[in-house]
A and B are shown apart, each in its own frame.
Chain A
Amino acid sequence: MKHMQWVALVVIAFFWAGSAKAQPYPSRPITEIVPFAAGGPTDVIARITGEYMSKLLGQQIVIENVKGAGGTTGITRGAQATPDGYTIMMGHMGTHAAAPALYPKLKYDPNKDFEPIGLAVGTPILVVVKKDFPAKDLKEFIAYAKANQAKLNEAHAGVGSVSFTTCSLFDSQLGIKPAKVAYPGAGPALNDLMGGQVDYMCDQIVNVAEQIKGGKIRALAIATAQRSPALPDVPTTKEAGLPDFQVSAWNALFAPKGTPKEVVAKLNDALAKSLDDPATKKRLLDLGGILPDPPERTPDSLARLVKKEVERWTPILKATGAVGE
């Protein structure tokens, strides 16, 4: 008789475990891998959108930070996860466009190993200089840079970072080869820029906006078509004389290849709706982010973007000769 209790328990346990799989998606918390340290721009965007998405989906989205190698460590782990919709990842321009050119041993293909879910937010890039840099605007900067290449010091947050990638484009468009000084993150790079130890850098608006407003550094231009409401005094690159430099660091959600289409659709819907939610929208816009228009929010649109971006960045980055591992 004693044993019957145990048998009953085991039977119940089996049924319970089995039934969990039959429930509609999502029936348990979803892990969202953010391939950068907590507190950084990508992480913040993931958390802000994730909060609203959690409400819509009825299950908590749990952020897991897996940093390393410019974000590729986390993305690799996500790409190799079980494609059941319970592991997704927030990638960005660095991980899904620049990585193939910078990391020859990359263990994933941005075009093939993922199911794109949707674009989240884009953050515009600015060209910023130290406070007492001898150039008043972008045109003077270009002239000075061409004449004084050897003396110029550019800060970046490490090979594979947004600041590295975007400034590579900037430098190649100007035809200059400054000395590149590596920092372990955007914060330390910005710190030395404020201290006047380096001359300039290219970085996302959310990292530099406050320091610009506080007068600690100066912005020469913003690399978007229109001025940002967060920094209305900064001219666009088009206005300032370098119309070809149009970059924004886009962030997007991906799922591993093989994730069922209905799951992807549900996640895409939740993401798109979170971008329309007034509170979430406000937070993202306050960061200086650019929200994608509805047609840009589909998985197909994201797939096209990834393809285009990989093609765009590969030749530029290969030319810099930088190699990660």
Chain B
Amino acid sequence: MGELFDNLRLGFATALSLVNLALCLGGCMIGTLIGVLPGIGPIATIAMLLPITFNLEPTGALILLAGIYYGAQYGGSTAAILVNIPGEATSVVTVLDGHPMARQGRAGVALGIAAIGSFIAGTIGTLVVAGLGVPLSEVALWFGPPEYFSLMLLGLSLAVVLAQGSLLKAGAMVLLGLLLSTIGADLETGQDRLTFGFDDLSDGLDFAVLAMGLFGFAEVLRNLEGSEHQPKIESRIGRLLPSRADFKQALGPILRGTGLGTVLGILPGNGAVLAPFASYALEKRLADEPSRFGKGAIEGVAGPEAANNAGAQTAFIPLLTLGIPPNAVMALMVGAMTIHGIIPGPQVITNRPDLFWGMVASMWIGNVALLAINLPLVGLWVRLLRVPYRLMFPAILVFCCIGIYSLNNRPGDVLLMAGFGLAAHCLYKFGFEPAPLLLGFVLGRLLEEKLRQALVLSRGSFLPFVARPVSCALLLVALVVIIVALLPSVSKKRAEVSLS
């Protein structure tokens, strides 16, 4: 314990230097901005800012880049709540209840609880990284391909809980999402799959293109269709920040979400993307009135937001303790470290304790900074909702177009987004929901990759999936989730909730 305090003291001393503090704040602000803007994500921004970090001290450089990363998580929730557009894969779940809350005039409450929940999760996450980082990284290594596959199956089974309407349609959407994720060059052979001859699709579909199309474009279409040509938003704004009662309701989900995010974040290969979905499903299961979900239940915002922020913190564990980046953003951090002569690996924590502990300390400082930045902004964002829709929607559209174009500098992406928007509109008409589709898409690549790897390792046998303890346990949980959802009593409730 004493050692931990010493290390933390070193960390804070490093992180609180004027330069590092400024970099932390700068990073958080840039991150928030790009998180709010649809399309542009932390990956592109960090890649662009890499050259600028050359002249900085390695610790400072990493603090800046890390700030952008979690800033983007906070910003992404803002966009999700206000305009129903998930900026990142981790904000998909926030739109389900966050945006309905905004429509009910409770945008401030939603934004506030998202920020507060993220802060609590971030604090706990930082403590976990500080205290349990090294042992947890060992645990993560137990996850081989079969375990991962089972985890992904469990994730997909959550779609049945996530969905509000017909189970069959939700399942179909998951399958469609999985199918869409196979588009692009095959991992092993490099052959193009389902690309219809378009070279542009060789890299696969970008999440942002799909999300913008399904949520941004389709949403605008839907709103314009109504007789008033705009979404029904309560004119009175209501509270700007969560009340005591709100907070009490949200505390449990926040803590549970933090737990889920912390555990899933350490899994290399972006297992963290599962955390918000898992949290949403858990909260819906535990709530006394699950029918509130999808209509503005505060637990549906608090839990997932906490989960994704906790996951963002613990995602640093495999990077800092093993030198393995768990996702694309962390891979950029590896690059940043390498350029500065610090090669990430198990020895970083002993060779450069100032770097490790400085980063840990600045994680927490970053969360404080983000809370300080985002809470006052709530008022500004809420006021933005009052802009007449006839001006809002072209702005949303053009932001989406610019954001999407900036991903790969490909005009084709913009057209693809529009195409998906139209398709989503049709799907909506038929009673399908977009959330399970995105879930399938997000998990698809990893699911297939792990399945193929596991089958090669087992020489074609499916035995390891049930023989290995962790994998077996995950599969059982998935089975339970599906069975419970299929029980007659539950599906009857579901029929009442189905979309009209």
Contact = CB atoms under 8 A, between A and B. Distances in A.
Interface of A: 37-40, 43-44, 47-48, 51, 60, 62-63, 65, 67-70, 73, 102-103, 153, 158-160, 179-185, 187-188, 190-192, 194-198, 206, 209-211, 213-216, 282-283, 286-287, 322-325
Interface stretch (B251-259, B322-330, B486-494): B322-330
Given A210-B347, A211-B346, A43 B335 contact: yes
A191 B344 CA distance: 13
Given A184-B449, A191-B141, A215 B187 contact: no
B51 interface: yes
B31 to A, nearest CB: 17
A65 B43 CA distance: 12
Interface in B329-346: 331-336, 338-339, 341, 343-346
A206 B337 CA distance: 12
Contacts of B133: none
Contact of B322 (A60, A65, A211): A211
A63 B445 CA distance: 28
Contacts of B286: none
Contacts of B142: 195
Q: Which 3 A-B pairs have the closest CB atoms?
A: A210-B345, A39-B335, A214-B346
A38 B331 contact: yes
Contacts of A102: 190
A10 to B, nearest CB: 28
B54 A51 contact: yes
A159 B190 contact: yes
19 contacts: A38-B331, A47-B50, A51-B51, A51-B54, A69-B202, A102-B190, A153-B457, A158-B188, A159-B189, A160-B190, A179-B456, A181-B457, A182-B453, A191-B141, A191-B268, A191-B322, A195-B143, A213-B345, A286-B343
B54 A37 contact: no
Given A38-B335, A188-B268, A286-B343, A322 B453 contact: no
Contacts of B141: 191, 194-196
Contacts of B234: none
Given A69-B202, A103-B190, A323-B189, A39 B331 contact: yes
Interface of B: 46-47, 50-51, 54, 141-145, 185, 187-192, 202-203, 268-269, 318, 322-325, 328, 331-336, 338-339, 341, 343-348, 445, 449, 452-453, 456-457, 459
Nearest to A188: B269
Contacts of A38: 46-47, 50, 331-332, 335
Given A213-B346, A325-B185, A325-B192, 7 more contacts: A39-B338, A40-B335, A68-B203, A73-B202, A182-B188, A194-B322, A210-B348
Contacts of B339: 44, 47-48, 283
Looking at B141, B143, B203, which has the most chain A CB atoms within 10 Å of its CB?
B141
A102 B185 CA distance: 14
A39 B336 contact: yes
Contacts of B318: 191
Nearest to B334: A39
Contacts of A211: 322-323, 345-346
Which interface residue of B141, B188, B190, B449 has the most chain A CB atoms within 10 A?
B190
